[in-house]
Amino acid sequence: MRTGLSERIMQGPLSRRALIGAALTALPCGAWAQPRETWRSYVNSRFGTSIAYPARFKAGRPPENDDGQSFTADDGAELAVWGSLNALEHDLPALEAFLRENLKQNERVTYRAAGKNWLVLSGRRGDRLFYTRYLLSHRNAIENAFEISYPASRSADYQAIVARLGNSLKAGRGYQTSGKP
């Protein structure tokens, strides 16, 4: 009976060195190079909007009306977090229609998701990717939101960051809100 090459190779016991070498080869190179990301919290005192963001993002100058905060990272990523009065009294379908009618130049939405009180629009803007999430709160009186944009070439680096940002966006109490979020 002829034995195939793979059967002959697997017949003998594997050395500990061979097993360790195989395991290390199977690990993605990025697992060694990427340190664990440190996160901070931002809370908007006016509307109560809060989010966790990577500590490597540096805060810009806050706007005079205290409606949010912008952040930048050394790799070209930009993050904006804000709250606002829902002055046009949009429900989610109306908010989505408004946002789509007012897309920025070279902006194309390629992903959409929505829930009971939230909406996500994501896509391309030139050579960058963007992800925008809106959360309606306080009986739809307040819009809590963030947008992150980053070079499309960094897409793989930002997938987990975008997911965590999206999960951490929360409505809260601020000095211009009333009632429960």
| pLDDT (tens digit per residue) in 53-76 | 999 999 999 999 999 999 999 999
pLDDT score of 105? 86
Higher-confidence position of 38 and 11: 38
What pLDDT, on the 0 to 100 scale, is given for residue 31? 44
Region 147-154: what's the mean pLDDT?
98
- How far does CA 34 lie from the centroid of its chain? 18
What does the block give as tokens for 83? 């709250």
Q: How far is CA 134 from CA 1, 70, 95, in A?
A: 67, 16, 9
Percent share of the chain, pLDDT over 90: 77
Higher pLDDT, 9 or 39: 39
Which pLDDT tens digit goes with each residue over 15-37? 555 444 544 444 444 444 456 89
Q: Residue 160 phi/psi, 5° resolution?
A: -70, -35
pLDDT of residue 155: 97
Indicate the pLDDT class of residue 104, thresholds 50, 70 and 90: confident
Please state the pTM of the whole predicted model. 0.80
* 50-to-14, 57, 152 alpha-carbon distances in Å: 53, 15, 26
- 6 falls in which pLDDT band (50, 70, 90)? very low
Q: How far apart are CA 45 and CA 55, in angstroms?
A: 20
Query: Minimal CA–CA distance to 132: which of 88, 100, 91?
Result: 100
DSSP 37: P
Can you give the pLDDT at residue 27?
46
